Amino acid sequence: MLENKKTILSSKTKTVEICRDNPTVLIGERINPTGRKVVLAALQEGNFELVRQDAIKQVEAGATVLDVNAGVPGADEVALLSQVIQEVMSVVDAPLCIDTANPQALEAALKLYEGKALINSVNGEEKSLETILPLAKEYGAAIIGLCMDDDGIPTTPSARLEVADKIIERATSMGIPIEDIVIDPLAMTMSSDHLAGALTLQTIKLIVEKYGVNITMGSSNISFGLPERKFVNATYMAMAIHAGMTCPIANPLVIEVRTTALAADLALGRDEYGMRWIKDFRTRKKNQ
């Protein structure tokens, strides 16, 4: 069988290895003003306390990597993203996933980041490949490649695989190791297309079969607009892990997210003696 690729990320003092042979890595999603209005309001006021608290809480809840997004409309993202990253690095030692569509903000962040970051993201658009891949190469960062390109988001698994093919081909031909490429098959909401979830699961399988690379996604997107999202999210989380997702971008403070990832790891033989499951259970009881 194809070897499961290992993506190694680091901070100044900590290394995280993402691999299908290991337990699932949760990438904490909460430092994101685009997705969360309270973060937006705090950043608009120049208040970084919420960001620092969110960083600490997510790591305590089991996130081993943190996604950092500072996309505040009208703000200077180059300065703001750099500051948010510094604030986060001052309170936690988790490696970071730098979430920006702005190449200048990305480069400023990569310059000050201490360690090997995960860039979120590059996609199959020419402009994206041309600007982001050289930065990944220069700074030795890993990248998330989104399965979309100049024609938009493909509507079949094989067409999404073709975008992954293109990103992997372009990145590796520049000397970026395939281990450093994490693919996002794109999780779209099932409230507007009931086939969206199944399509993404199928895409994960095709990409994993062909490359063995690591797979991420904003897995809670799947339930946007539906009632009782946590049940849908938890079920989908388990199914996506089984299909091959290794590092979801999710909210570890939601108990169902964490327990589902842990239970899926146990069910897939990635939790020897169930130690991680038991340890998390004890922590939950203690904090009750």
Q: What is the DSSP string of 146-200?
A: ES-BTTBS-SSHHHHHHHHHHHHHHHHHTT--GGGEEEE-----TTT-TTHHHHH
Q: Which region among 35-43, 46-54, 162-170, 267-275 touches ligand THG (by CB under 6 A)?
A: 35-43
Q: Does residue 144 touch ligand THG according to CB under 6 A?
A: yes
Q: Name which of 3, 35, 59 is nearest 219 in CA terms.
A: 35
Q: How far apart are CA 246 and CA 167, in angstroms?
A: 19
CB 266, min distance to ligand THG, A: 25
Using CB under 6 A as the binding rule, whether residue 57 contacts ligand THG is answered as no
Site pattern 243..282 for ligand THG (x: CB under 6 A)? ------x---------------------------------
- Under the binding rule (CB under 6 A), the answer on residue 77 touching ligand THG is no
Applying CB under 6 A, among 62, 218, 248, 252 the residue interacting with ligand THG is 218
Beta strands in the chain (DSSP E): 7-10, 15-18, 27-31, 65-69, 96-99, 118-123, 142-146, 181-184, 214-215, 249-250
Is residue 217 involved in binding ligand THG (CB under 6 A)?
A: yes
Query: Which of 7, 11, 83, 121 contacts ligand THG by CB under 6 A?
Result: 121
120 lies in the binding site for ligand THG (CB under 6 A): yes
Residue from 202, 203, 220, 233 touching ligand THG (CB under 6 A): that is: 220
82 vs 220, which CB is nearer to ligand THG?
220
DSSP β-ladder status, 15-18 and 7-10: antiparallel
Q: Decide whether 170 or 230 has the Cβ nearer to ligand THG.
A: 230
Stretch that binds ligand THG, among 192-200, 210-218, 253-261, 277-285 (CB under 6 A): 210-218
CA distance 145 to 122: 5
Phi, psi of 146, deg, nearest 5: -85, 140
Q: Between 250 and 262, name the residue whose CB sits nearer to ligand THG.
A: 250
Structure tokens at 266: 């146990």
Strand order in the sheet with 96-99: 214-215, 181-184, 142-146, 118-123, 96-99, 65-69, 27-31, 249-250
Give the residues across from 182 on adjacent strands: 144, 214
167-186 positions binding ligand THG, by CB under 6 A: 184
Stretch that binds ligand THG, among 50-58, 212-220, 257-265, 278-286 (CB under 6 A): 212-220
CA distance 169 to 61: 36
Q: What is the binding site for ligand THG (CB under 6 A)?
A: 29, 32, 35-37, 67, 99, 120-121, 144, 184, 187, 216-218, 220-221, 224, 249
